[in-house]
C-alpha cells in the first residue's frame, strides 16, 4: 500500500464519521502510517447524506480531500445515489444490502454485504453497524490490523461496550472473508 483513499457515506447518526476517525487514528497511532480524515460539516451531516474522507499513506499527504476513492462505502440509498459514480476505476464499492439497492453498473468492484441484518441478528443493536462496516473494510483492504482498531476503541469507548464492538468488528470481517484482496491503493 502506497496510498489508499476512502470515502465512508451514510446518514447522520449511523457512525460513518466515527468509523472514519477510528480507522485513521488506528493507522497513525498504532501502525506508524500517515493519515488524514475530514468530513462534511453543514446540515447534511445531521440527517442527509453524510460523508467522511480518509487518506491512509506511507508518505506525507498534502491535499487532504478525496475526489476519486479507491474504496467507497455507502450505508444508505441516498448516499449510494449521490456517490456511486466517484470511485476510481478498479476501486471497490461496498454497500449494505439492507439499506442499499444497487442499480447501476460501475467501473468499480461492487461488494454487497448484509451488515445491518447480521448485526441485528447476532448483536441485536444497530449502533455497532459502523464497526461491523469497519471490520469488512479492513478485511478487504488490509489497511490496518483488527488489533489496532480494538486498541483505538479501548481509548474511546466505555469498557462495558468493548466486547460488543469486538463482536461487531469480527462479524464484519467474517462477512467480507471471500472478498479479501491482496493489495489495494495506488500511487
Among the listed residues 5, 11, 19, 25, the single contact to another protein using CB under 8 A? 25
Among the listed residues 4, 7, 19, 36, the single contact to another protein using CB under 8 A? 36
Please tell me the distance from the alpha carbon of residue 30 to that of residue 43, in angstroms, as a whole number. Answer: 33
Please tell me the distance from the alpha carbon of residue 8 to that of residue 74, in angstroms, as a whole number. Answer: 6
Please tell me the distance from the alpha carbon of residue 56 to that of residue 149, in angstroms, as a whole number. Answer: 14
Please tell me the distance from the alpha carbon of residue 141 to that of residue 104, in angstroms, as a whole number. Answer: 23
Range 64-83, binding another protein (CB under 8 A): 64-65, 67
If the CB atoms of residues 62 and 103 are measured against another protein, the closer one turns out to be: 62
Closest approach of another protein to the CB of residue 99, in Å: 26
130 binds another protein (CB under 8 A): no
120 binds another protein (CB under 8 A): no
Interface stretch with another protein, choices 18-26, 74-82, 141-149, 163-171 (CB under 8 A): 18-26
With CB under 8 A, what is the number of residues at the site for another protein?
19
Is residue 1 within 8 A of residue 185, CB to CB? The reply is yes
Closest approach of another protein to the CB of residue 103, in Å: 28
Greatest CA separation for the chain: 43
38 binds another protein (CB under 8 A): yes
Q: C-alpha 109: how far from its chain's center?
A: 15
Other Cβ atoms within 10 Å of 34 Cβ, number: 15
The residue ranges that bind another protein (CB under 8 A) are 21, 24-25, 28-29, 34-39, 41-42, 61-65, 67
Amino acid at each position: 500500500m502506497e496510498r489508499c483513499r476512502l470515502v465512508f457515506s451514510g446518514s447522520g447518526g449511523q457512525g460513518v464519521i466515527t468509523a472514519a476517525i477510528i480507522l485513521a487514528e488506528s493507522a497513525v497511532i498504532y501502525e506508524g502510517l500517515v493519515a488524514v480524515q475530514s468530513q462534511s460539516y453543514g446540515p447534511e451531516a445531521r440527517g442527509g447524506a453524510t460523508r467522511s474522507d480518509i487518506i491512509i499513506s506511507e508518505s506525507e499527504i498534502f491535499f487532504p480531500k478525496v475526489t476519486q476513492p479507491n474504496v467507497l462505502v455507502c450505508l444508505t440509498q441516498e448516499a449510494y445515489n449521490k456517490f456511486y459514480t466517484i470511485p476510481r476505476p478498479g476501486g471497490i464499492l461496498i454497500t449494505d444490502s439492507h439499506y442499499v439497492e444497487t442499480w447501476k453498473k460501475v467501473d468499480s468492484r461492487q461488494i454487497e454485504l448484509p451488515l445491518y441484518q447480521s448485526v441485528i441478528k447476532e448483536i441485536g443493536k444497530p449502533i455497532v453497524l459502523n464497526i461491523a462496516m469497519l471490520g469488512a473494510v479492513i478485511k478487504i483492504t488490509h489497511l490496518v490490523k483488527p488489533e489496532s482498531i480494538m486498541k483505538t476503541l479501548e481509548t474511546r469507548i466505555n469498557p462495558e461496550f468493548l466486547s460488543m464492538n469486538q463482536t461487531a468488528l469480527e462479524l464484519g470481517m467474517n462477512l467480507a472473508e471471500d472478498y479479501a484482496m491482496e493489495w489495494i491503493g495506488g500511487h
